[in-house]
Chain A
Amino acid sequence: MKLSFYPGCSLEGMANDYCESIYAVFKTLGIDLVEIEDWSCCGATAAHSLSEVMSVILPARNLAAADKMGLDIICPCSLCFNRLLFSQKMIKKKIFHIPWHVTGDTRVLDMTRFLAKPSIIKLIKQCVLKPLDSLKVVCYYGCQMVRPPKITGYADYENPQTLDHISAAAGARVIDWSYKSTCCGASIGIGRREIVESLSKRILQKTQQAGAEAIVVSCPLCQSNLDIVQKDRSEPPTPIFYITELLRLSFNYKGNPKWFKMHVADPVPLLKAKGLL
């Protein structure tokens, strides 16, 4: 199987470890990822906030490049996923002039939904060498991946399940909780740190109350918010794993502590204690 891959800017910078783990996991699963040639930024919140036309045109450029490849696009970043789908909707309306030739028909898949397909879950289960059954986790979806349902197509936006299914397939003990899609504060921390801290700290507190030891996410911005807010905490850290990091861990007999060196809330002690490293 072959998919075109749209990493997005975060995966080149702050979430470089995410990118690495994605490639490792898809290699084990035997699925080829072809990076969209010369991709550019999707415009993120800024284009959305300041210029409607740019918020359509910028993702359209990547959709045009993917059209040429003729493969479904897989998108690990929630915001990119949301922006690409939004742009597709607007392209179909045919009211904006798009400088590139683009049909808007290429399928855009959110990575977690792709991995949670029954056939892929089966494949994952076959690849697991070391089930993570001692690890208690909660799954956190954030906003852009599930909302607004009209754009993202999530019917279960109040209680999404994709990450839960994938983590369970890797053998982790998934705990149900009610903060799956509460906002973490997104990029507001740039100007107003206190808002991000209050939102992210609440999510961490609820994680502990649910009895989980770690959070599983798929959005690079959620990861960095929840991770960075723990910088000066004295309590034992609550590691924030990308879903593919968990999968990679379960696909190997012996994990490598180097995989987690970019985390601020260091997961190594927890994983060592659980005998997973």
Chain B
Amino acid sequence: MHNSISDPETATEYDSCEQREFIGDRGDYFLNRIQGETGVNVSACYQCERCTNACPISGFMDIKPHQIIRYVQLGWRIRLLKSSTIWLCLSCEMCTTYCPNEVDVAEIINHLRMMAARSSITPKEKSLAVFHHTFLEELIKSGRVNEFRLMRAYYSKPDILHAKIKNGTFKQELQLAMTLLRKGRLKLSAPKSKAVKEIQKAYFQTRGEIS
């Protein structure tokens, strides 16, 4: 058999492995973990890309849905948690619905999003990550979510207002808010649920805090 490594013609093309990505550092630990935690058979994926083709926003993603599944198989955890995909995904469930192998892609992405939220990695789509957190905070505060209170809380988060002014979308959003206010769609106050205390207690318990 021809040995390409010892072939004098190609012997100089030494592969230093610097460009190569290692398979997950602990074998298929990450794959098994994700499969165990979500109950999704990630190994069933044969990379047909049907999920990506069904996804309405795959064009905006840095790691496409079928690649997400592949990366999980390879155990590339950090890459996944750093991606914009996990925050952009709309949970529209197109991918899951059309996968021929019943790989629940949307659930995997959602699970990665939860992992990313608990990790120390800075989310690539900060504005969206902050929005989810603000929503949950508002919910815990009053039991129901009022759009006006939500937006006020959102804009008072660090960097959000600043980023909006910088990329020029702030003026647009202010105009939009004025239109909605004029149309009577933004309610400045809303009833709260009386169950706030119960909800808060449950929430703190899920976070392991005792109240």
Contact = CB atoms under 8 A, between A and B. Distances in A.
Contact of A192 (B88, B113, B132, B136): B88
Interface in A120-169: 143, 147-149, 157
A66 to B, nearest CB: 14
Given A38-B194, A99-B201, A48 B110 contact: yes
Contact of B144 (A9, A45, A157, A199): A9
A12 B190 contact: yes
Contacts of A149: 97
Give the interface size bracket for B toward A. Answer: 35 or more
A261 interface: yes
Contacts, number: 154
Contact of B143 (A14, A41, A50, A52): A41
Given A54-B203, A57-B206, A186 B90 contact: yes
Contact of A188 (B88, B97, B203): B88
Given A191-B125, A195-B88, A199-B57, A51 B136 contact: yes
A153 to B, nearest CB: 13
B40 to A, nearest CB: 12
A199 B56 contact: yes
Contacts of B90: 143, 183, 185-186, 188
B121 interface: no
Interface in B182-196: 183-187, 190-191, 193-195
Interface stretch (B22-30, B45-53, B70-78, B146-154): B146-154
Contact of A44 (B113, B145, B176): B145
Contacts of A262: 183-185
A231 B128 contact: no
A16 B148 CA distance: 14
Contacts of A264: 179-180, 183
Interface in B35-66: 56-57, 60
B195 A38 contact: yes
B186 A13 contact: yes
A195 B88 CA distance: 9
Contacts of B32: none
Given A13-B147, A50-B114, A192 B128 contact: yes
A193 B133 CA distance: 19
Interface of B: 56-57, 60, 88, 90-94, 96-97, 104, 106, 110, 113-114, 117, 125, 127-128, 131-133, 135-136, 139, 143-148, 154, 169, 172, 176, 179-180, 183-187, 190-191, 193-195, 198-199, 201-203, 206
7 contacts: A9-B146, A12-B187, A41-B143, A48-B91, A183-B94, A191-B131, A263-B183
Interface of A: 9, 12-14, 16, 38-41, 43-54, 57-58, 61, 99-100, 143, 147-149, 157, 182-183, 185-188, 190-193, 195, 199, 224, 228, 231, 261-264
Q: Would you list the 10 A-B pairs with minimal beta carbon distance, nearest first?
A: A191-B127, A46-B135, A147-B93, A183-B92, A191-B128, A40-B193, A143-B92, A40-B143, A53-B206, A46-B132
